[in-house]
Amino acid sequence: MSRVLIKCRALINSLHVLRTEYEEAAKMSRDKFAKATILPTLLTMKCKGCMTIKMISDFSPRKDTKTGYSTICKACIAARQRQKRAEQDPAMRLYEYAKRRAIKRKRDFDILPEDLVVPAICPVLGTPMRVPSVDRINPLLGYVKGNVRVISHRANMLRNNATYEEMQAVLADTDTLIKSGRLPAEVAHRVAHDQADTDEEGVAHVPVETDDVGEA
């Protein structure tokens, strides 16, 4: 009789184990089904920054949203962070502009933000730096170390729009007018500075790259 009871108890225990395993398996199946029905809707999301539909991997996880992901894609967040740094640091702003220009023009680029030092005085014109601009010393090279400097927007425009011979011709003509008395030297000097003020006012604090103007 005791052997029968032992067998019965063993059978009951086995049934309990089987039932537990069945319930766990059923629960796992339900979870998998639920995930299978929800997952397709989370494969892509629309970024509220660039309004582009992107893969879910392009978004950072966030616990405080319905989807569990940020509503703005990683690229937009990075761009906003760069813009914020640029607004606080003129050199960083010049760096970001130069980098975009290099990509657009397919030019070499290996400089760092610290390679762009914004001086208080334009090294070309000797005037106060109002609008800084990245100058590629050798226009045949890209934005590479040793080939970039920060000069004023006006100086960069002059270097970009005139050849060496044309600049010499303008200087020679100005010297001739001064020597002939038709153009007083102090007037020529004042006109140059007035023109610089006119060109740069209204766009102050906005870095400009003009070394590629006119290129295809």
Domains along the chain with CATH numbers: 42-87 (3.30.60), 89-200 (3.30.40)
pLDDT of residue 66: 84
pLDDT over threshold 80, residue 30: no
- Enclosing H/E stretch for 134: strand 132-136
pLDDT over threshold 60, residue 31: no
* 40-44, 105-109, 136-140, 161-165: the lowest-pLDDT one: 40-44
Pair type for strands 132-136 and 148-152: antiparallel
- The string of pLDDT tens digits covering residues 46-82 is 999 999 999 988 999 988 888 888 999 999 998 888 7
Name 128's Cβ contacts closer than 8 Å, sequence gap at least 6: 120, 121, 122
- The string of pLDDT tens digits covering residues 184-197 is 877 766 655 444 44
Pair type for strands 44-46 and 53-55: antiparallel
What is the pLDDT confidence band of residue 144, given thresholds at 50, 70 and 90? Answer: very high
CA distance 31 to 205: 57
The structure's pTM equals: 0.48
Name 95's Cβ contacts closer than 8 Å, sequence gap at least 6: 86, 111, 112, 113, 116
Q: Which residue has the higher pLDDT, 187 or 37?
A: 187
pLDDT of residue 173: 80
CA distance 36 to 202: 57
CA distance 13 to 108: 74
